[in-house]
């Protein structure tokens, strides 16, 4: 409700984003956020971790993405629902990777090399599944619909001057704002809050994998201390301490958007996990060139590098998604009707897995069930589907039904989709707007999306041993 009020409280395109959040929304929102120990703003936990339901509780794989649906969306569209569920499914499938991290951490303390290697293979398996699921983003989420119709609701109010929120948002009724007159701007300015919006950086999964594998990230635009594998190993032998901890302030800041328990888990993991240090000390330079394939130390190094390579591949795919879903629509502008080619699912999944998935969907629809990503609840009395943005605007104008909803009955999505466009005059002072040459495309978290993601990807690749 808060984001619907700020970004979409009025259907009139000329009306800017709202800098004031009414007390009826702000007070309970802040109270709940304090209880959950996270910031009062849309975050990954809110739209992905706590916003799903199982469509068929008799399915063989309950957490398969085709068996998941959302509870709440802003737009009521399949595209928005699918966008959330891709992250939900990745988190569910990679849970085994977190267990493997803990097993590997304990094995390092026991000097159990074979168990460390086995745990790294389990982490790699989970990362392989994550890569496959991430590629499925293209199946049911159209880039035009995401950028121009959905993305704005996920944005926060930090670094959003160009979108009409230079000072952030004032949470009325909070921080003694009700005791100050609106004319007393100096006092009010100090009470405006700036929060980043929903971001993939807020998932504890990727940060846990970075910590476990010793992947270091530095402030955007800066390079951390560069050292060879031999130098890093010699430093460990001489000092007996790990390398400096992660110092990318944005990634550390994103932990404030995680539930308190997740944040403390990452802090404890960073204080105890020494997998990379163990591999560095066990695998000498000569072993990198002379070790036999059956040498346990060679297998350990290969398993470690395999995990790093899979995270790098995952981040490559993420950059491609950002380019297609943010950069390209922003450059094309809203006046350009786009026919968006959707990759064939059979090219994103192994043939057998694709045929099995299609058979499950066909069977579910024939029996009165629904496709994965359906945002309509399986039990309307228990999980009523709430179109938040439409609810706030229903008294002002009818809400047009998204054409993507009609695809559920046909159990397919067209090869391309033409979406109704809006006037270029509508993008003035909004997050979803056409970007001129050289302009920065900011993510919903407020960062220069491509620069940040490329640096994180490159730092991952440099971690190989």
| pLDDT digit string, tens, across residues 19-52 | 989 999 999 999 999 999 999 999 999 999 999 9
Confidence tier at 193 by pLDDT (50, 70, 90): very high
Q: Would the pLDDT of 276 be above 60?
A: yes
CB distance 13 to 3 below 8 Å: no
Percent of the chain with pLDDT over 90: 51
User: What pLDDT score does 97 carry?
Assistant: 95
Q: Would the pLDDT of 260 be above 50?
A: yes
For the chain, what is the mean pLDDT?
A: 78
- What is the pLDDT averaged over residues 126-150? 94
Q: Which of 316-330, 331-345, 381-395, 417-431 has the highest mean pLDDT?
A: 316-330
**pTM of the complete model:** 0.78
Q: Would the pLDDT of 274 be above 50?
A: yes
List, in sequence order, every beta strand (DSSP E) within 172-287.
192-193
Q: Would the pLDDT of 184 be above 70?
A: no
Q: Would the pLDDT of 171 be above 90?
A: yes
Residues with Cβ < 8 Å from 105, sequence gap 6 or more? 212, 269, 272, 273, 274, 275
- pLDDT, one tens digit per residue, over 311-354 is 999 999 999 999 999 988 888 877 554 444 444 443 444 444 54
266 or 222, greater pLDDT: 266
150 or 365, greater pLDDT: 150
User: What pLDDT score does 332 carry?
Assistant: 82
User: What pLDDT score does 421 carry?
Assistant: 43
CA-atom Rg of the chain in angstroms: 24
- Burial class for 155, CB neighbours closer than 10 Å (0-12, 13-18, 19+): buried
Instruction: Please report, for residues 48, 67, 453, the alpha-carbon distance to residue 199 in angstroms, rounded to integers and kept in the order given.
Output: 11, 24, 12
């Amino acid at each position: 409700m808060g984001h619907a009020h700020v970004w979409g409280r009025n259907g009139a395109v000329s009306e800017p984003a709202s800098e004031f959040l009414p007390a009826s929304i702000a007070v309970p929102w802040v109270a709940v956020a304090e209880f959950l120990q996270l910031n009062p703003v849309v975050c990954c936990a809110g739209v992905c971790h706590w916003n799903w339901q199982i469509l068929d509780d008799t399915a063989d794989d309950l957490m398969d993405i085709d068996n998941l649906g959302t509870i709440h969306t802003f737009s009521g569209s399949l595209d928005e629902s699918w966008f959330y569920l891709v992250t939900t499914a990745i988190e569910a499938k990679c849970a085994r990777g977190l267990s493997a991290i803990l097993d590997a951490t304990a094995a390092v303390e026991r000097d159990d090399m074979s168990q460390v290697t086995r745990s790294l293979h389990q982490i790699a398996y989970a990362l392989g599944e994550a890569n496959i699921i991430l590629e499925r983003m293209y199946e049911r989420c159209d880039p035009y619909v995401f950028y121009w119709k959905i993305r704005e609701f996920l944005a926060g109010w930090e670094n959003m001057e160009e979108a009409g929120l230079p000072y952030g948002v004032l949470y009325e009724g909070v921080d003694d704002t009700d005791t100050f007159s609106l004319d007393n701007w100096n006092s009010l300015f100090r009470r405006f809050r700036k929060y980043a919006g929903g971001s993939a950086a807020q998932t504890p999964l990727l940060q846990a994998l970075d910590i476990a594998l010793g992947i270091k990230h530095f402030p955007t635009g800066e390079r951390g201390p560069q050292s060879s594998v031999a130098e890093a190993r010699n430093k460990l032998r001489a000092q007996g301490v790990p390398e400096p901890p992660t110092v990318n302030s944005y990634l550390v800041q994103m932990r404030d958007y995680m539930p308190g328990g997740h944040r403390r888990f990452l802090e404890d993991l960073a204080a105890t996990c020494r997998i990379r240090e163990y591999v560095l000390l066990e695998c000498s330079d000569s072993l990198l060139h002379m070790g036999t394939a059956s040498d346990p130390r060679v297998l350990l190094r290969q398993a470690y590098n395999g995990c790093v390579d899979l995270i790098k591949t995952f981040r490559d795919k993420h950059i491609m998604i950002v380019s297609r879903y943010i950069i390209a629509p922003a450059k094309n502008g809203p006046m350009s009707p786009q026919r968006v080619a959707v990759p064939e699912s059979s090219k994103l999944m192994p043939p057998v897995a694709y045929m099995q998935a299609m058979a499950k969907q066909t069977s579910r629809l024939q029996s009165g069930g629904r496709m994965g990503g359906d945002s309509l609840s399986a039990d309307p009395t228990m999980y009523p589907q709430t179109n938040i943005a439409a609810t706030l605007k229903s008294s002002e104008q009818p809400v047009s039904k998204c054409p993507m909803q009609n695809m559920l009955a046909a159990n397919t999505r067209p090869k391309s989709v033409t979406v109704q466009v809006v006037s270029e005059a509508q993008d003035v002072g909004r997050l979803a707007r056409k970007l001129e040459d050289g302009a920065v495309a900011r993510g919903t978290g407020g960062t220069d999306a491509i620069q940040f993601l490329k640096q994180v990807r490159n730092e991952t690749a440099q971690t190989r041993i």
